[in-house]
A = this chain, B = another copy of it.
Amino acid sequence: MPLPTIEWIGEIDGKIKLVDQTLLPNELKYVYCDDKESIYHAIKTLMVRGAPAIGIAGAMGAVVGIKNCDAEDFESFFNEMKQVTAYLGSSRPTAVNLFWGLKRMEDVAQRNSQKSVSEIKNILLEEAKTILEEDKTICRKIGENGESLLEDGNCVITHCNAGGLATGDYGTALAVMFAAAEKGKNISVYADETRPLLQGSRLTAWELKNAGIDVTLICDNMAAHTMKQRKIDCVIVGADRIAANGDAANKIGTYSLSIIAKEHDVPFYVAAPASTFDLSIASGDEIPIEERGPDEVTSISGNKIAPDDIKVFNPAFDVTPASNIAAIITERGVINSPNKEKVETVIGNNT
């Protein structure tokens, strides 16, 4: 039911087509990226956002970035490719999927170093398309694995957008709700608006409404009161990066929501693909948190809502400790009460 967020159009001389998510819900407009600058810009300015979608955008970005490379030998080609991937990698520092996608493209190039540059370019395009197809499969599997956590009539709170728009087309946190709804369960959702960029009101509310799921919009600071006053069965959110011990970085406000859920004995679930795990970091303390500019907080749609020159602290993510997470739902299975051992068992040697 969700619409494709990102696609490759044409052959190797083609381009990336993506939904400009900064214009939703007022306008459904597609953007075409034909070079590394335009896809860098699309990632940086959040036209494409959501960890898995950024991974796909990065992989396809590597293709648009090197498709016109006129190197004739592998070494020159790969040097240019590494410049492209380093450049694209600098667009969003927190999204591990971006680095994962770029590294996977580099690995494929290296594994095919004996082939001609022209052949390698086509192989890279196929790999990027494969990543997109795999993502679709993974999201459906996350939905399948998670939907049994929801019963008919359940009410969920979600934060930010971990929906189709954050992935190829089906989402991670929302996949669980989509899958439950497809099984005929009656699910209702409270969507946090998710300041400052309002992914909840602009994207999640829009997606759920389009999918025919009963959705109610709240401000982020209303979640605690909502849990106290109305029957909330669980929280389900996505993740941008998960450490080896299960600590999960996600959109700012997720940590806050996990504390509130704990206070109200509401189970807190994280839904994310295995590619979101970064087993090289022991705990969430090691996850660098991107700080963004003040304008996101001081103005909305170009309207000033704060005094001139006010100081702003604008962290884009926060870290939810594993101890606040009832389960992490992945395509490889559900990790209940996550810790280092359980993450290792399910995610294993993540490549």
- Picked from B220, B298, B300, B308, the residue with its CB within 8 Å of the CB of A301 is B300
The answer to whether the Cβ of A190 comes within 8 Å of any Cβ in the partner chain is yes
8 Å CB interface, A290-336 against B: 294, 297-298, 300-308, 310-315, 318
Judge whether B252 and A307 touch: CB under 8 Å: no
Cα separation A194 to B202 with both chains bound (whole Å): 19
Number of residues of chain A lying within 8 A (CB) of chain B: 58
Cα separation A230 to B318 with both chains bound (whole Å): 13
Interface string of A178-218 (1 = CB under 8 A from B): 00000000000010111110100110011001000011111
* Residues of the B chain whose Cβ atoms lie less than 8 Å from the Cβ of A297: 193, 201, 217-219
Closest residue on chain B to residue A191 by CB atoms: B310
Q: Which listed segment binds B: A98-106, A169-177, A254-262?
A: A254-262
Distance (Å) between the CB of A311 and the closest chain B CB? Answer: 4
Cα separation A298 to B214 with both chains bound (whole Å): 17
- Picked from B215, B256, B306, the residue with its CB within 8 Å of the CB of A260 is B256
* Residues of the B chain whose Cβ atoms lie less than 8 Å from the Cβ of A205: 306-307, 310
Judge whether A201 and B25 touch: CB under 8 Å: no
Judge whether B228 and A193 touch: CB under 8 Å: no
Distance (Å) between the CB of A160 and the closest chain B CB? Answer: 10
* Residues of the B chain whose Cβ atoms lie less than 8 Å from the Cβ of A308: 25
* Residues of the B chain whose Cβ atoms lie less than 8 Å from the Cβ of A260: 256, 259-260
Judge whether B256 and A311 touch: CB under 8 Å: no
Judge whether A300 and B298 touch: CB under 8 Å: no
* Residues of the B chain whose Cβ atoms lie less than 8 Å from the Cβ of A206: 306-307
The answer to whether the Cβ of A26 comes within 8 Å of any Cβ in the partner chain is yes
Distance (Å) between the CB of A214 and the closest chain B CB? Answer: 8
8 Å CB interface, A85-142 against B: none
* Residues of the B chain whose Cβ atoms lie less than 8 Å from the Cβ of A257: 221
Distance (Å) between the CB of A315 and the closest chain B CB? Answer: 6
Closest 3 CB pairs of A and B: A221-B253, A224-B256, A301-B303
